[in-house]
Amino acid sequence: MFALPQEIEVWYIIPAIRREFARVFIKKGLTMEKAGNILGVTKAAISQYLSKKRAKAVKIPPTVSKEIEKSASILIKDNKKAVKEMLRILSLMKKHKCECAICKKFNPGISKQCNCDC
């Protein structure tokens, strides 16, 4: 049995992106509650991201981390752009083939069934 790439995205990638956003928001002086409100998660989830109890299995590449920093600055000013910025970051993860690497990590042997070019 294997997980679909979309499941990998929901279970691992989106939480890792949220973790990075949480880290940046706190670094920029936001409260956990405000960070959670922007990301659509609870204050407890932010705490778990920061303490590495949640979303610790995936490392975000430095190029994407820089973009998360940019997005965080945008979201601090206008949190209504959260979905747009999250989709932009997910798109970058796909562009840099990060999703494929993560999918292969959690799905040994998936490349035999996958149509991706990585």
Query: Whole-model pTM?
Result: 0.87
Give the number of other CB atoms < 10 A from CB of residue 10.
12
117 assigned to some structural domain: no
Residue 62, both tokens: 């430095």
Query: In a 10 Å sphere around its CB, with 0-12 CB exposed, 13-18 middle and 19+ buried, how is residue 3 labelled?
Result: middle
Place of tokens 């799905």: 107
52 assigned to some structural domain: yes
What's the number of domains the chain is made of?
A: 1
Kindly list the distances between the CA atom of residue 78 and the CA atoms of 34, 39, 64, 84, 89, in Å, as whole numbers in the listed order: 12, 12, 20, 11, 17
Can you give the pLDDT at residue 8? 84
Report the C-alpha gap between 57 and 59 in whole angstroms.
7
pLDDT digits (tens, 9 = 90+) for 90-107: 999 888 777 777 777 777
9 assigned to some structural domain: yes
112 assigned to some structural domain: no
